Structure 1
């Protein structure tokens, strides 16, 4: 089985596997609970959440709390159990959550003026690795087992190259396969020489230090992936959901754009189009993740 590189036992919230930043509220109070996935350093995310939940509460008119989940699967479980109302999530976890619990897409990220991005295989420039075939018997770190840009799409490049038959055969090709817990963690493991390569978002190198960025490159890039999105549990009050969406869309205004850095740093948000994720659904079915 792949090994989890992260040494953190991060974050426990009853039933959700996370830590809350909210002030305790009376049982009768309505509180909007947001789950964040740890694609960046969880400590940074905790600071970001603390910085933004107050503004959201003022805009929406109810208290807002946020927490960082251990991984995508924990975010889906938090939605399923009602421990989270809304989650920031990648495309693959969304289509799985949609199938499993009826999750509702609300918003899609716009990043670098595009509604899509790619996954890449990153290596150190001095590694001598110039092609995917050079990674036979080498160690690789991916972000998360249900991440599209941090696992499935980069791994699909090895399938397209004829090096492995399907994701289940990955361990026969690589030396060891690790799941690091996020983009930044996977990239750090590669940059520091703990593994030979990392599978992560095309922008994941920006999570490294400037010196490390100069020391890494990428050797393969996936097909386009629809952008990350914001989703809601199916039973969330429609009026509250709409107020949240309206508040998030106000982040596109010039006077609020500086706050986008607290939400993983997109250029802005648009209302989500569920049909845009059909390609992700097809790939999930191809690899046995969806029926």
Structure 2
């Protein structure tokens, strides 16, 4: 009898596990898992994404569960363990997810009317830096090793010019780089670039510190701007059913086209629309990574 009592719970657990596996994706017991890369405060994403999830469920008839990992590497790894079905990712993270797990980009975000952005190299106006050649031997601040606009693309410009920088540091955030240049802690730095608005208001990384340093435009100048970088994609795991993919894409486009949806995505990612995209649209980023010898596989292990 004692042996039977031990076996029964085991059998029940196995049966429960089997039932779970039989649940179709999108049902209440097996919701579609949607991940958001935390490029802004997690609370901001969580509070604004609730309405989006409700709309998706109403529009598609599927159940969804959202997740906000601590960093983009966690999102990449979620595709490898089937914990993520769909994710909004940064461009470099997407290349890692594609290279390792075959995930595919099918939508690309649009900001300020463009589905791309750029990087910039900045310097203090008091410096003698007028061109890339003038950066030789200078103290330089990048943002983060995984940043396309604040590291990879600016580094390629420096390498292509045959320039050897002096002391280099990673400031982690774009606004930190601007602050370091403004306060002359470094001679120059790399951040993201967005063209000014129609009324001339700056929208590059300097705008992030304008409240703290109102004269930042007068003190920090742009030395050069990088090539175009494809915006963040919506990424889908490789074996996601086509019906799920199609319904999700249709719903997302409809949601962001609405005034409410547009505002929600502006709050989350400063996004105003989405465009169709393909993996090939990210080949220029792959080329830059090869040129500066960044190994995607090694980055994934860090």
Fold shared by both chains (TM-score > 0.5):
yes
Q: Give the secondary structure class of the aligned counterpart of 2:34.
A: strand
Query: CA distance change for structure 1 residues 213 and 101 in 2, over 3 Å: closer, same or farther?
Result: farther
Whether 2:177 is the aligned partner of 1:186: answer yes
Shift of 1:238: 4.4
Quote the residue 2:144 is aligned against: 144
Q: Relative to structure 1, is the Cα distance of residues 230 and 123 closer, same or farther in structure 2, using a 3 angstrom cutoff?
A: farther
Which of 190, 210, 231 aligns to 1:199? It is 190
Counting only pairs closer than 5 Å after superposition, residues 1-291 of structure 1 correspond to structure 2 as 28-30=29-31, 32-38=33-39, 42=40, 45-61=41-57, 62-70=63-71, 72-164=72-164, 173-178=165-170, 180-202=171-193, 203-210=204-211, 211=214, 213-214=216-217, 215-249=219-253, 250-288=255-293, 289=295
**Offset at 1:158?**
0.7
Distance, in Å, in 1 between the alignment partners of 2:30 and 2:259 is 32
* TM-score (ref. length: structure 2): 0.71
Q: Deviations over 1:41-74 (max 9, x none)?
A: x5xx22321222211221121343332533x434
Encode CA deviations 1:55-99: one digit per residue, 9 max, x unaligned: 1221121343332533x4343223323444433333333223211
1:243 Cα deviation from its structure 2 partner: 3.9
User: Mind listing any 5+ residue stretches in structure 1 that lack a counterpart?
Assistant: 1-26, 165-172
- Confirm or deny: 8 A CA contact 2:33 2:83 kept in the other structure: no
Q: How many residues align?
A: 250
Q: What secondary structure is seen at the aligned counterpart in 1 of 2:172? A: coil
**In 2, are the aligned partners of 1:92 and 1:284 still within 8 Å (CA)?**
no
SS at match of 1:259: helix
The worse-fitting range, judged by mean Cα deviation, of 151-160 and 126-135 is 126-135
Q: Deviations over 1:141-177 (max 9, x none)?
A: 323223221211111111222214xxxxxxxx22123
Give how far 1:194 is off: 4.1
Larger radius of gyration: 2
Structure 1: how far apart are the matches of 2:250 and 2:85? 16
TM-score normalised by L of structure 1: 0.73
Q: 3-state SS of the aligned residue for 2:290? A: helix
Contact 2:156 2:288 in 1 (8 A): no
- C-alpha change, 1:32 and 1:142, in structure 2 (3 Å) is same
- Cα distance change of structure 1 residues 286 and 138 upon mapping to structure 2, 3 Å threshold: closer
CA distance in 2, matches of 1:162, 1:228: 30
| Higher share in helix | 2
CA root-mean-square deviation: 2.8
Structure 1 residue 198, shift from structure 2 partner:
2.4
Q: Is the 8 A contact 1:36 1:87 kept in 2?
A: yes
